[in-house]
Structure 1
Amino acid sequence: MANPPPDVPSVPILLLGDAGVGKSTFLSRLTLGNTTPTTTPTPLPTLHDLNQPFPFDILMYNRPYRFEFSDTASPTNYTLLDPAVIVLCYSIADPASLANLRKKWIRIAEDHFNPDDKIPIIVLGLQRDVRGREDYRGSVRPSGLPSPPPLPTTSSAGSSILDTTSISTTTTSIDDANDDPTTTVEDSSGDDVVPLHPRTFTYPQEALRLAQEMRCDRYCECSALTGELFREVVEDLARTAALTTTEKGGRTEGWGCVGM
């Protein structure tokens, strides 16, 4: 990896999380440089851990930056690294990986890297493509029924999570109508839908709440496989990383967790 020019800030970013949650896929799409979402999975390059950290050059605020990404497979023991930003990764398809952020990874982040609370910590949900519209309603359609139109991928502000207010309201209406998990629910289109039990994915408001409880700075999610919300996540990460080079730093004021 070539060193950046001396006047270009270099910001080390460390991705932490369970094996198999999608960290390598995220880094693969990042090195590809293609952030355009697609309807089908895009072939991604194979990365070699010996090449870590993976550089990502970007122009922001009329000046260049280099962000250097590493994860737990770094050839240098990751606990010996000195990151300026920590990203706690989990798989939306695996609720246990979200629980492990609280049980394991936030403790490692705080004990090894952030004893003085100066490093921004971001929670990143990966494999967002596992969710469909019916998943946000807490139900699934019987086979053979047409799927509803796709959900919008960004809010009016271009955020990288859905509007959790609208999601929470919709989910509550299903829960209220379906206290018995074996009861069939009818949706607004008149079609019968079947409650999703057991659920094998995580709702965004659940992860955002956990990020707030862990006093993290930000929460975002995307699909590196299809590119859904990938551009927004990269932009949000880049803004946070760039702020670490300023006197103010990249931490959010107080203990509020910002949903991107």
Structure 2
Amino acid sequence: MEEHTVKVLLLGDENVGKTTFLSRISKGGNALDGKCEITLLRDVDQPFIFELRNRRRAYRLEFYDTSYPGDWRSLDPDLILICYDISQRLSLINMERVWIKEVHSTFETGDRIPIMVVGLKRDLRSETDPNGIIYPQEGYKVSQAMRADRYVECSAVTGEVLKLAFEDICNTAAQTRSAAGGQSEGGCVLM
């Protein structure tokens, strides 16, 4: 069975939860539901490798993030995940002001690379802070304005919708190796 390599790049502000997310999913499919102990991965160990198989193909997903010891700008990603912290409005603003612009200026083929927006730290969404609360509709709306292909939210700490988010990321990654590619047709899809 031929193995297809897919490079996935996670971008976003510091401390939005990228390392915790990668550390949690590195424990495998059985650890995606509910709470579990998380041992943080080390940045020097990048790329973080995940092996997937379906009936027809095998995939090797290589995850890199902005703390990649080399220059992440020199990578040639097949899928980009722009991450923000649901409890920090500034990370949502920077996603739109900084990170999508970085994608388009760094990767000349930025229009063909599928982009997913990932809202992390869903467990920290607070109803008591009216200024800091970011509802899914708002994250989705910003994703649409950025012309992202997909929008997902999850919590790596509690496991809240983590399995669904990871499955959507894996499906999109696998689609990058198909003739149709991983980009959505005509707009952002909410998962």
Q: Which letter does structure 1 place at the counterpart of 2:4?
A: P
What does 1:188-227 correspond to in 2, within 5 Å?
A: 196-197=129-130, 199-227=131-159
Q: Deviations over 1:207-242 (max 9, x none)?
A: 000000010000000000111111101110011110
- For structure 2, the 5+ residue unaligned runs are none
2:93 equivalent among 89, 99, 111 = 99
SS in 1 for 2:3: coil
Pairing 1:30–2:25 present: yes
The match for 2:190 is 259
- The Cα shift of 1:63 comes to 2.3
Q: Deviations over 1:12-71 (max 9, x none)?
A: 000000000000000000111144432xx5221221111100001112344221100000
- TM-score, normalization by structure 2: 0.94
Task: Decide whether the 8 Å contact of 1:130 with 1:201 is kept in 2.
Answer: no
Q: Distance in 2 between matches of 1:65 and 1:53?
A: 15
Moved more, 219-228 or 27-36: 27-36
Q: Distance in 1 between matches of 2:101 and 2:19?
A: 22
Moved more, 41-50 or 62-71: 41-50
Q: Which letter does structure 2 place at the counterpart of 1:29?
A: R
- The Cα shift of 1:122 comes to 0.3
Q: Distance in 2 between matches of 1:206 and 1:113?
A: 27
Q: Distance in 2 between matches of 1:202 and 1:8?
A: 39
The match for 1:42 is 36
Q: Which letter does structure 1 place at the counterpart of 2:23?
A: S
The match for 1:14 is 9
SS in 2 for 1:104: helix
- For structure 1, the 5+ residue unaligned runs are 141-195
Q: Which letter does structure 1 place at the counterpart of 2:175?
A: L
- The Cα shift of 1:200 comes to 2.1
* Identity across matched positions, percent: 44
Aligned residue pairs: how many?
A: 190
Q: Which letter does structure 2 place at the counterpart of 1:257?
A: C
Q: In structure 2, do the counterparts of structure 1 residues 216 and 61 end up closer, same or farther at CA, with 3 Å as the change threshold?
A: farther
The match for 1:52 is 46
- The Cα shift of 1:246 comes to 1.3
Task: Decide whether the 8 Å contact of 2:10 with 2:63 is kept in 1.
Answer: yes
Task: Decide whether the 8 Å contact of 1:23 with 1:89 is kept in 2.
Answer: yes
What does 1:84-163 correspond to in 2, within 5 Å?
A: 84-115=78-109, 117-131=111-125, 135=127, 140=128
1:235 equivalent among 160, 163, 167 = 167
Structure showing greater Rg: 1
The match for 1:187 is none
1:73 equivalent among 46, 57, 67 = 67
Q: Distance in 1 between matches of 2:12 and 2:163?
A: 21
Task: Decide whether the 8 Å contact of 1:32 with 1:45 is kept in 2.
Answer: no
